[in-house]
C-alpha cells in the first residue's frame, strides 16, 4: 500500500515538473507581448481621458487634442487582437491582469475586441465632423465597448496595485 | 375632584411616567444622515467592486453631500450633533477610559469621549476617500472623478489606488465602531442602536439634559449651500 502511494506520488511529481517545463518554455515571443500591450492599452485609456477632460471643460480643442487622441485610439485598437497570443496570460509567469478566460472563451473575446475596434473607428469619424454632441455620445459608446471586455477578461486586482 | 373613571386616570399616569422617562438623544437630521451614509457607503462599495463606475459616481456625490452636511450640522445643528458637545481633549478621554471597564458606569448623553474619536475619524476618512475619488482616474479613462481633469493620467491612476486602499482602512475603522457598539450592548447593557433609530432612549430618572433642536430653516440653509458646493464639484468647477 505504502509502495503504491509512493509510486503515485512519484508519477504525480514527474507530471507536475513536465507541466512546469512546458509552461516555462511558453515562449519569449508571447511573454514579450505583455509589457508593450499594457503600455498601449494604458495610452488608449489616457487618450480617452484627454478627450473626456475637454468635454468636462466644455471647450473642445478639435485639432490639438480631440483629433490626435481619437486617432491614437483608432490606430491602437486596430492591433488590439494581435496583443493576446496564447501563452501571454498569467501562466507565463509575467505579471499580467489578463485572465485565462481570454483564451478559454476566445470567440467571445474576439467578438468584443472587434466591437471595440468598430466603435473606435466610428469615434475618429465622428471627431472629424467636429460635432460636440455626437462626440460625447460616441465617447460613451467607445468607453462602454472597452469596458465590456475589461469587465470579463481583466482581473479586478488591477485596482489594488500601481500598474508601473 | 376625582375622575369618574379611576382606571383611565391610572393609564394617563402611566403614560405620563413613561413619557417623562424618555430622553431625546438624536434629532431627525442626525439620524437620517447616519443611516443614509450607511446606505450610500454600502452602495459605493458594491458599485466600486462591480466596476459600475457610472453609479459609483452618483453614490460618491451622495456620500460627499451627507458628510458635508454632517460637518455643517456639527457646528450649527441640534445640541448633541455639535462637535463642542462631544469632542473632548486628552484629559477628558483618559478620565472616560479609566472607568470604561465598569459595567455600571453612567450612560453618556450623546457620543461618549471615545466614541467621539471614532466619529471624527470616520468623518475624516470618508471625506479623504471621497476626496481621492474626485481626482481619481478610471483606468479606461471613461468614468473618472469630476476633478480628474486637473491631474495627469498617471497621477490620477495613483490617486485611484489611494482611493481603493483608504476605503479598506475605512472599513477597519467601521469594524471597530461596530465592535464598540456590541461591547456596550453585551458588556455594559447599553443599547446605542435603538436611539439612533427612534431618536430617544428610556431612562430610569428624569433626564438632566434634553435635546435642543436646531430650527428647520437652518437645515434647509445648509442643504442649499452644500448642494450648490457638491454641484460645483460635480461639474469640475467648469461653469
The reported pLDDT for the residue numbered B120 is 96
Per the CB < 8 Å rule, is A57 touching B235? no
Q: What is the mean pLDDT of residues A110-126?
A: 96
SS3 B23: strand
ipTM of the complex: 0.76
Q: Give the residue from A147, A143, A164, A116 showing the smallest Cα distance to A49.
A: A143
For chain A, what is the mean pLDDT?
85
Give the span between the Cα atoms of B211 and B205, in whole angstroms: 16
B47 touching A (Cβ < 8 Å): no
**Is the residue at B239 inside a domain?**
no
CATH of residue B53's domain is 1.20.950
Q: How far apart are CA B133 and CA B130, in angstroms?
A: 5
The count of structural domains within chain B is 1
B10 located within any domain = no
pLDDT in tens, chain B (239 residues): 344 455 444 444 445 455 557 889 999 999 999 999 999 999 999 999 988 999 999 999 999 999 999 999 999 999 999 999 999 999 999 999 998 888 877 788 889 999 999 999 999 999 999 999 999 998 888 889 999 999 999 999 999 999 999 999 999 999 999 999 999 999 999 999 999 999 998 887 777 788 999 999 999 999 999 999 999 999 999 98
B7 assigned to some structural domain: no
- Residue of chain A whose Cα is closest to the Cα of B160: A159
Regarding pTM above 0.90, the answer is no
User: If one looks up domain A28-159 in CATH, what number appears?
Assistant: 1.20.120.10
Q: Decide if B221 is inside a domain.
A: yes
Separation between Cα atoms, residue A66 and residue A52, nearest integer Å:
9
Mean pLDDT of A109-138: 96
8 Å CB contact of B139 and A146: no
**Residues within 8 A of A (CB atoms), B 129-148 only:** 137-144, 146, 148
Domain boundaries, position B228: 25-234
Residue B15 lies in a domain: no
Amino acid at each position: 500500500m505504502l509502495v503504491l502511494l509512493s509510486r503515485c506520488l512519484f508519477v504525480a511529481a514527474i507530471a507536475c515538473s513536465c507541466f512546469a517545463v512546458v509552461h516555462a518554455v511558453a515562449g519569449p515571443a508571447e511573454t514579450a507581448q505583455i509589457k508593450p500591450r499594457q503600455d498601449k492599452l494604458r495610452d488608449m485609456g489616457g487618450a480617452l481621458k484627454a478627450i473626456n477632460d475637454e468635454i468636462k471643460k466644455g471647450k473642445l480643442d478639435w485639432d490639438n487634442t480631440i483629433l490626435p487622441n481619437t486617432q491614437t485610439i483608432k490606430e491602437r485598437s486596430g492591433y488590439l487582437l494581435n496583443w493576446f497570443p496564447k501563452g501571454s496570460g498569467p501562466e507565463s509567469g509575467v505579471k499580467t491582469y489578463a485572465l485565462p478566460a481570454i483564451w478559454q472563451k476566445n470567440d467571445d473575446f474576439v467578438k468584443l475586441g472587434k466591437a471595440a475596434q468598430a466603435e473606435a473607428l466610428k469615434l475618429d469619424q465622428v471627431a472629424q465632423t467636429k460635432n460636440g454632441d455626437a462626440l460625447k455620445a460616441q465617447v460613451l459608446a467607445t468607453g462602454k465597448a472597452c469596458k465590456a471586455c475589461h469587465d470579463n477578461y481583466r482581473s479586478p486586482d488591477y485596482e489594488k496595485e500601481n500598474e508601473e | 375632584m376625582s375622575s369618574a373613571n379611576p382606571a383611565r386616570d391610572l393609564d394617563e399616569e402611566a403614560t405620563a411616567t413613561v413619557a417623562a422617562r424618555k430622553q431625546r438623544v438624536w434629532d431627525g437630521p442626525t439620524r437620517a444622515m447616519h443611516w443614509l451614509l450607511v446606505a450610500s457607503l454600502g452602495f459605493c462599495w458594491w458599485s466600486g467592486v462591480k466596476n459600475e463606475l457610472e453609479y459609483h459616481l452618483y453614490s460618491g456625490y451622495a456620500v460627499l453631500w451627507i458628510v458635508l452636511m454632517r460637518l455643517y450640522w456639527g457646528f450649527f445643528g441640534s445640541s448633541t450633533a455639535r462637535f463642542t458637545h462631544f469632542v473632548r481633549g486628552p484629559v477628558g478621554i483618559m478620565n472616560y477610559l479609566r472607568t470604561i471597564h465598569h459595567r455600571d458606569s453612567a450612560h453618556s448623553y450623546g457620543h461618549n469621549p471615545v466614541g467621539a474619536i471614532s466619529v471624527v475619524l470616520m468623518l475624516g476618512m470618508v471625506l479623504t476617500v471621497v476626496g481621492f475619488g474626485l481626482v481619481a482616474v478610471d483606468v479606461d479613462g471613461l468614468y473618472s472623478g469630476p476633478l480628474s481633469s486637473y491631474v495627469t493620467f498617471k497621477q490620477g491612476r495613483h490617486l485611484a489606488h489611494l482611493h481603493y486602499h483608504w476605503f479598506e482602512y475605512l472599513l477597519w475603522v467601521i469594524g471597530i465602531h461596530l465592535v464598540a457598539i456590541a461591547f456596550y450592548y453585551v458588556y455594559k447593557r447599553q443599547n446605542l442602536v435603538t436611539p439612533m433609530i427612534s431618536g430617544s432612549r428610556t431612562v430610569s430618572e428624569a433626564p438632566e439634559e434634553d435635546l435642543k433642536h436646531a430650527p428647520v430653516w437652518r437645515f434647509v440653509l445648509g442643504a442649499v449651500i452644500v448642494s450648490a458646493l457638491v454641484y460645483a464639484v460635480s461639474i469640475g468647477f467648469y461653469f
